[in-house]
């Protein structure tokens, strides 16, 4: 492979592993683990989660076509700010409406992750992509205790490679982001205990 094709592959991996798309993966995993999420009265809250955690943030993700003309620093600020608003909106909805505990857990996890990233990024450039993959990989392993979640663990190495290959982050920055995602997700599951 040429350097150009490697960089294109790394960019494609980074795009696919963007936080909104992994939120959709987590919600899909939650639906497989708890099919009742697609029945009344849980269907509407599930669709709201898909919109506020996945689709809406995808419009303002760092890799969004709507933001590509802006500098990377500006795109990151817009992404973090819009993610915080969207995740906060779903968190408030989830806790005020008494939605399914698994959706509450996912909402708390995403909210805590973005808050931790914003705080850490005030003095260190932690990877949002790293946290966006590590938290969901942990969640999927908690959803599927028979070992099916282990299939997603290689994504941690793939995302690390992609973020370093695109020169967006060092491997240390990706690991810090992953640690933040893991801490937020684990604490969310311990606080709410959805199963």
Q: Region 62-88: what's the mean pLDDT?
A: 88
Cβ distance 91 to 111 under 8 Å? Answer: yes
DSSP structure string for 39-55: STTTHHHHHHHIIIIII
pLDDT in tens, 129-176: 999 999 999 999 998 878 888 899 999 999 999 999 999 999 999 999
The structural domain count of the chain equals 1
Confidence class of residue 195 from pLDDT cuts 50, 70 and 90?
A: confident
Q: Region 33-39: what's the mean pLDDT?
A: 93
Query: φ and ψ at 84, to 5 degrees?
Result: -60, -45
pLDDT at 130: 96
Distance CA 169, CA 166 (A): 8
Q: Determine the structural domain holding residue 143 and report its residue range.
A: 3-192
**pTM listed for this prediction:** 0.93
């Amino acid at each position: 492979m040429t350097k150009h094709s490697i960089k294109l592959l790394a960019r494609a991996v980074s795009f696919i592993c963007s936080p909104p798309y992994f939120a959709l993966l987590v919600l899909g995993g939650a639906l497989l683990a708890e099919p009742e999420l697609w029945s009344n009265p849980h269907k509407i809250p599930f669709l709201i989660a898909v919109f506020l955690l996945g689709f809406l943030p995808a419009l303002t993700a760092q890799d969004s076509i709507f933001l590509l003309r802006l500098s990377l620093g500006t795109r990151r600020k817009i992404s973090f700010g819009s993610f915080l608003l969207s995740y906060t909106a779903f968190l408030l909805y989830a806790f005020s409406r008494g939605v399914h505990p698994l959706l509450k857990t996912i909402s708390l996890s995403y909210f805590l992750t973005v808050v931790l990233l914003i705080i850490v990024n005030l003095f260190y450039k932690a990877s949002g992509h790293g946290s966006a993959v590590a938290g969901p990989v942990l969640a999927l392993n908690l959803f599927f205790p028979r070992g099916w979640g282990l299939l997603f663990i290689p994504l941690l190495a793939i995302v690390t490679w992609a973020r370093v290959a695109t020169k967006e982050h060092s491997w240390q920055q990706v690991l810090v982001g992953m640690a933040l995602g893991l801490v937020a997700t684990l604490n969310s599951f311990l606080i709410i205990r959805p199963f």
